[in-house]
Structure 1
Amino acid sequence: MTDHDPEQLAKTAAALRKLSPEALQVFLCNRVEGMTYVEIARQEGMTLEQVQQHMLEAIRTIVNDA
């Protein structure tokens, strides 16, 4: 499998669509924008614990579904 495997990309995209809006936003801010959890919490008006929980939701969903 390569980084551009169409089947894997489709599975990952499907997993991302299953996320709550908050979990998706946290995931994208961290993994795409490179923001820290503290930066995300400030930007999104969340506690650090909420950011951690949303990230955990995102990672679990992606690992289990993709």
Structure 2
Amino acid sequence: MDTAKLELAAQRYREATAALETARADLQSETVAAMRQDPKRGDQAVVSRITGWTREQIRLLMKAAEKTL
């Protein structure tokens, strides 16, 4: 069994998972900041288009962010 390749693949997977989690947290943070900055009609649609998240997901994110204040 060639465990070196397996170990390398496992390490790449762990690094990619960590990078994805960091990117998700950054995107959530930037989404909340964008929605709070000079709010106006249509902002949720713009954020939805950019992030690929539904308006419901954005509403839930904003609701969770309000609880942390």
With normalisation by structure 1, the TM-score equals 0.52
TM-score if structure 2 supplies the norm length?
0.50
> Which residue in 1 is equivalent to 2:29?
24
**1:47/1:40 CA distance change after superposition, 3 Å:** same
| Cα separation, 2, equivalents of 1:28 and 1:57 | 13
Higher helix proportion (structure 1 or 2): 2
**What is the RMSD of the two structures over their aligned residues, measured on CA atoms?**
1.9
Question: How many residues are treated as equivalent by the alignment?
Answer: 43
In the alignment, structure 1 segments of 5+ residues that lack a partner are: 1-19
CA separation in 2, counterparts of 1:22 and 1:57?
15
Matches within 5 A, 1:1-66: 20-32=25-37, 34=39, 36-62=43-69
The answer on whether the counterparts of 1:23 and 1:57 sit within 8 Å (CA) in structure 2 is no
Identity across matched positions, percent: 21
Bigger CA radius of gyration: 2
Structure 1 stretches of 4+ moved >2 Å: 20-23, 32-35
Secondary structure in structure 1 of the residue aligned to 2:68? helix
